[in-house]
């Protein structure tokens, strides 16, 4: 798949924890915790958002994230200026991001620590894109950039759809669970107002899928999400589950809620309860 429209390595490589922009880096477009201070510290003096020309504000935000991209040896293309600006201005607090609804069934705790939760998720429609890049981080980067464009007006309504969390990535492992497949699926839960009539993507790589109601076992973790950490978290979740009635397959889900600059990161590993 051509990465020129999304994330593109400028050179060098780096390991799986560096050298590319991650889903969490991109997700921080929607979080004002660092964005306001970082963006407003650039340029001279303080700028009032209601008086700053839109094009100037877009350029400032884009340059800020291009600077982040260069640290990761990745280009954030100029056509991301509008999506970045829209997500920033429409999601200026955590309350603006709709959470994917679920019903908590039970928790397993040990010494006050939640080892895992058992949840019920209703059937729902998701916008999904399959990506096959060399590294997990590259795939999630490209997939999320494309979903950002869909969320930000590149859809049949021509309107901003609204952000939901978590953004999830479906990953596959081989039988020993020591390697991740090169192909992943990045997915965005349609907001409640769009569930009945999902706007169609302009990008034909994005498809709308209805996921069935599911029982999901999930474990939280606060580290970065790269191939090594994901495989480690999958192993930890499988170990604490230790339930023969759960028929594990080769698919797992990585759910991302927060950006890496947050004092406490929130990610989860999900596994479906196969009956």
Which range (44-58, 137-151, 252-266) has the least confidence? Answer: 44-58
- 5-44 pLDDT, tens per residue? 444 433 333 343 433 444 455 445 444 444 333 333 333 3
- pLDDT-derived band of residue 227, with 50, 70 and 90 as boundaries? confident
Distance CA(214)–CA(119), nearest Å, equals 8
Q: In the numeric block, which tokens belong to residue 91? A: 């999601």
Closest alpha carbon to 251 in 147, 167, 175: 175
- Strands, E assignment, the chain: 8-9, 74-75, 98-99, 103-110, 113-121, 124-132, 164-165, 167-172, 183-189, 206-211, 214-221, 251-256, 267-272
Q: For 177-208, what is each residue's pLDDT tens digit?
A: 778 888 999 999 999 999 999 999 999 999 99
**Mean pLDDT confidence for 254-261:** 74
97-272 is a CATH 3.20.80.10 domain: yes
Confidence at residue 29, expressed as pLDDT on a 0 to 100 scale: 45
- In Å, how far from its chain's centre is CA 209? 17
pTM: 0.77
Contact 216, 121 (CB under 8 A): yes
- Domain boundaries, given as residue ranges, for the chain: 8-95, 97-272
Confidence (pLDDT) at 73: 52
Of the listed ranges 54-58, 95-99, 244-248, the one predicted with least confidence: 244-248
Give the separation between CA 267 and CA 263, rounded to whole angstroms. 13
The full length of the chain comes to 275
Distance CA 128, CA 133 (A): 16
List, for residues 115-124, the tens digit of each pLDDT value.
Answer: 999 999 999 9
Query: For 140-185, what is each residue's pLDDT tens digit?
Result: 878 888 998 999 989 999 999 999 999 999 998 877 777 888 899 9
If we measure between CA atoms, which residue out of 227, 256, 247 comes closest to residue 18? 227
* C-alpha to C-alpha distance for 152 and 141, rounded to whole angstroms: 16
Percent of the chain predicted with pLDDT > 70: 71
């Amino acid at each position: 798949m051509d990465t020129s429209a999304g994330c593109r390595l400028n050179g060098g490589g780096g390991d799986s924890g560096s050298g590319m922009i991650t889903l969490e880096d991109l997700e921080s477009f929607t979080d004002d915790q660092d964005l306001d201070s970082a963006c407003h510290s650039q340029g001279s003096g303080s700028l009032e958002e209601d008086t700053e020309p839109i094009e100037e504000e877009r350029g400032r935000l884009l340059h800020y994230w291009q600077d982040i991209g260069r640290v990761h040896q990745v280009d954030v293309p100029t056509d991301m200026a509008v999506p970045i600006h829209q997500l920033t201005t429409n999601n200026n607090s955590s309350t603006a991001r709709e959470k994917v609804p679920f019903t908590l069934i039970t928790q397993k705790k040990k010494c006050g620590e939640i080892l895992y939760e058992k949840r019920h998720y209703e059937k729902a429609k998701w916008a999904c894109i399959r990506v096959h890049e060399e590294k997990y981080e590259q795939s999630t980067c490209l997939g999320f950039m494309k979903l950002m464009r869909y969320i930000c007006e590149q859809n049949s309504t021509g309107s901003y759809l609204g952000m939901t969390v978590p953004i999830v990535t479906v990953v596959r492992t081989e039988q020993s669970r020591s390697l991740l497949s090169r192909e992943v699926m990045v997915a965005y839960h349609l907001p409640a107002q769009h569930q009945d009539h999902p706007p169609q993507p302009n990008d034909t790589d994005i498809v709308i899928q209805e996921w069935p109601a599911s029982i999901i076992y999930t474990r939280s973790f606060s580290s970065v999400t790269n191939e090594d950490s994901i495989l480690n978290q999958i192993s930890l979740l499988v170990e604490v589950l230790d339930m023969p009635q759960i028929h594990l397959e080769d698919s797992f889900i990585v759910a991302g809620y927060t950006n890496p600059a947050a004092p406490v990161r929130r990610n989860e590993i999900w596994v479906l309860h196969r009956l």
